[in-house]
């Protein structure tokens, strides 16, 4: 057996080494993120998010060009007015030109009265060009469609009276 003076030294050494071990374990957990074995972090180390990080910045939406804006409206205009290819080309080019001029006015940022005056001039020129390229009945239908903001009217179904 171990004698008594060495036993005291041995017990002291064991207690001291356990104490040093506990202190260094805490430092390792805090520095390197070693946590409990169940994957739950107790506020130590580098935190990781569960949400995946996107690699690229979100794309900025660019405003539509005059051609794209007119292309969105042309199918309803063509269908509602029953335009032939020539008439469709006339209307499309006129509308593209007018929309482009309005966009340029917005960029200039004129004062409201001047802006309204210029928009009226553009609208008048647009109507004159379309009137020159379309027959009178189609032009009248175009004006009506323009008042409805280029949304085709829904045809109402007639109910039959059962007598």
pLDDT for the residue numbered 47 = 58
pLDDT for the residue numbered 79 = 87
pLDDT for the residue numbered 163 = 46
Q: For residue 121, what are the CA distances in angstroms to 55, 98, 116, 155, 161?
A: 49, 10, 9, 34, 50
Q: In this structure, how many other beta carbons lie within 10 angstroms of the beta carbon of residue 51? A: 6
pLDDT for the residue numbered 77 = 87
pLDDT for the residue numbered 118 = 92
Token couple for 49: 């998010």
pLDDT for the residue numbered 126 = 92
Q: Mean pLDDT for each 10-residue chunk of the chain (163 residues)? A: 74 85 68 54 57 67 85 88 89 93 89 92 93 90 81 54 53
């Amino acid at each position: 057996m171990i004698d008594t003076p060495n036993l005291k030294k041995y017990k002291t050494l064991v207690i001291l080494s356990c104490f040093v071990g506990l202190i260094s374990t805490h430092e390792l957990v805090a520095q390197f993120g070693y946590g409990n074995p169940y994957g739950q972090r107790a506020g130590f180390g580098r935190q990781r998010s569960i949400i995946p990080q996107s690699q690229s910045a979100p794309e900025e939406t660019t405003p539509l060009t005059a051609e794209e804006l007119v292309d969105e409206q042309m199918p309803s205009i063509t269908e509602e007015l029953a335009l032939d290819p020539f008439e469709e080309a006339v209307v499309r080019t006129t509308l593209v030109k007018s929309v482009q001029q309005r966009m340029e006015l917005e960029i200039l940022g004129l004062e409201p009265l001047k802006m309204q005056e210029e928009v009226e001039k553009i609208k008048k020129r647009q109507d004159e060009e379309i009137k020159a390229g379309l027959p009178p009945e189609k032009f009248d239908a175009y004006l009506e469609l323009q008042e409805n903001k280029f949304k085709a009217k829904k045809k109402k179904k007639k109910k039959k009276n059962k007598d």
